[in-house]
Amino acid sequence: MKLPLVVARQKSTVVFAFALFISLSYAVGGFSFFVLMTDPTPFWGHYATAFLLLPLATVIMVRQFVNYKVVRAGEGKLTISYPVRRTMRAYAPGSIAAWSETTVKTGKQQRYTELSIIFDDESRLDLGSQEYDQYGALVQWLNQKAGRKKRVN
């Protein structure tokens, strides 16, 4: 049975939430920085807000959007592409050293599941079920193509 191409990327709600947080952080931090530049005796909170929010927003923006990845599984290979970095890595199912699925109970009825794939070249891919769409289809592809390399936690 041939599986269709699985394309797992970050859900739009996750990207929107990070973009909203970064935008609000830059707006509040920029306003505080503006107050610091124009007011001769600014409130100390403007210092804290400007010098905490602006670097924090910058670090989160760089980390989130530079590490944005799209995982494609199908046609006998697993491809990880980083569009912002313009890099791509392709792996055959045989080059998967191990993979595991970890489930953490976060509430009464809620669970967070994370997929970790370790490749022969020591690189690692981690995907969360709440952040990435097509998560279940990717796990199904791994079960079919590299099922014997699954680690049980």
Q: Which structural domain, as residue segments, surrounds residue 48?
A: 12-66
Asked if residue 106 and residue 58 are part of one domain, the reply reads no
Count of domains observed in the chain = 2
Asked if residue 19 and residue 40 are part of one domain, the reply reads yes
Tens of pLDDT, residue by residue over 85-128, are 999 999 999 999 999 999 998 888 888 999 999 999 989 999 99
Asked if residue 75 and residue 58 are part of one domain, the reply reads no
Tens of pLDDT, residue by residue over 8-65, are 999 999 999 999 999 999 999 999 999 999 999 999 999 999 999 999 999 999 999 8
The DSSP 8-state label assigned to residue 131 in this structure reads T
Domain membership flag for residue 6: no
Could you give the C-alpha distances from 15 to 19, 67, 90, 115, 118, in angstroms and in order? 6, 12, 24, 19, 25
Boundary residue ending a domain (48, 66, 84): 66
